[in-house]
């Protein structure tokens, strides 16, 4: 079944028997927050051990073994919560089979994933079954951003005016995790230098890395442009700590170029070949 993120906390309080959850979408901060709420809620009821697994670490058969091993409390009487980060859908069928075959279980399974397409078998299974819960994690709306930012400052007992709130809401990205990280930096610096807290000062504090144009950077790499490469590279990869992100963007870009090339070989014009690709933002820089 599909549950809106805003209704999720109320849902898990009313439905304590729900054990299988799937968070998917571009707002990974919401997915992380959802996982934290489930863990907190379960730990209020019983002792829980959290097992974190990345889909890249799993070989065929590993998932079934994990489910079997953690299906019952361990020797200390602790129950298990299996947190799976899914970065590709090749495990979808195995996940569905494992979950569907668990008639009775004490295991809680939480899956976090990027946006799954409507054709995704995993998404479809979670949407259609009443025993499974899927929570779409869309980007923050302006109302959600304002509410989140206000609460973060309120928690630290820092007052902000409407102008400052509007500035932050406009400049910060639409991912909850990135918003929290940026606000935390601002709060720390504000406490160190309280007299400098102003709209102008906040404008200077907001990270330049948030304003990087991913499409422009990838396009520049493909075309061999070297101007300000290292500065943009450091922003894009968090100073080399996230090269996997760079590889993923490059692979996707090159794959789409190959598709266009093949369509041109099929005697379609360049414009028609480009129009066939979605999303069109891919060709923002031509």
CA–CA separation, 190 vs 168, rounded Å? 14
Model confidence at 199, in pLDDT bands (50, 70, 90)? low
HSE-CB at 218 with a 13 A cutoff on CA atoms is 22
* pLDDT tens-place string over residues 231-267: 677 667 766 777 777 887 788 778 777 877 776 777 6
Give residue 224's pLDDT. Answer: 77
Give residue 21's pLDDT. Answer: 95
Give residue 285's pLDDT. Answer: 38
Q: Are 193 and 228 in contact (CB under 8 A)?
A: no
Nearest Cα to 80, choosing from 94, 92, 68, 95?
Answer: 68
pLDDT > 90 in the chain, percent: 22
Q: Select the more confidently predicted residue: 158 or 152.
A: 152
Q: Give the Å distances, CA to CA, from 224 to 77, 221, 233, 261, 284.
A: 58, 5, 13, 20, 17
187 — phi, psi (to 5°)?
-65, -45
Whether the pLDDT of residue 82 is over 50: the answer is yes
Region 48-67 average pLDDT: 86
Provide long-range contacts, Cβ within 8 A and 24+ apart, for 141-147. Answer: 142/169, 145/169, 145/172, 145/174, 145/179
CA–CA separation, 12 vs 7, rounded Å? 9
Q: C-alpha 54: how far from its chain's center?
A: 14
């Amino acid at each position: 079944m599909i549950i809106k993120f805003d209704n999720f906390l109320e849902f898990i309080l009313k439905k304590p028997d729900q054990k299988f959850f799937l968070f998917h979408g571009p707002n990974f901060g919401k997915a992380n927050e959802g996982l934290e709420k489930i863990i907190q809620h379960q730990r209020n009821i019983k002792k829980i051990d959290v097992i974190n697994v990345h889909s890249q670490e799993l070989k065929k058969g590993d998932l079934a073994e994990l489910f079997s091993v953690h299906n019952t409390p361990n020797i200390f009487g602790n129950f298990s919560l299996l947190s799976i980060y899914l970065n590709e859908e090749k495990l979808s069928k195995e996940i569905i089979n494992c979950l569907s075959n668990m008639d009775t279980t004490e295991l809680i399974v939480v899956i976090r994933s990027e946006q799954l397409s409507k054709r995704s078998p995993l998404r479809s299974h979670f949407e259609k079954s009443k025993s499974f819960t899927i929570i779409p994690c869309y980007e923050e709306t302006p109302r959600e951003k304002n509410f989140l930012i206000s609460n973060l400052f309120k928690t630290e007992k820092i007052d902000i005016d409407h102008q400052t709130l509007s500035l932050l809401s406009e400049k910060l990205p639409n991912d909850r995790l990135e918003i929290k990280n940026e606000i935390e930096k601002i709060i720390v610096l504000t406490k160190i230098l309280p007299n400098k807290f102003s709209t102008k000062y906040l404008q200077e504090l907001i990270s330049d890395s948030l304003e990087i144009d991913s499409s422009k950077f990838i396009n520049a790499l493909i075309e061999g442009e070297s101007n300000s490469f290292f500065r943009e590279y450091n922003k894009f990869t968090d100073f080399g700590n996230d090269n996997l992100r760079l590889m993923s963007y490059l692979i996707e870009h090159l794959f789409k170029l190959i598709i266009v090339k093949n369509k041109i070989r099929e005697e379609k014009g360049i414009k028609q070949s480009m129009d066939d690709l979605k999303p069109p933002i891919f060709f923002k820089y031509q």
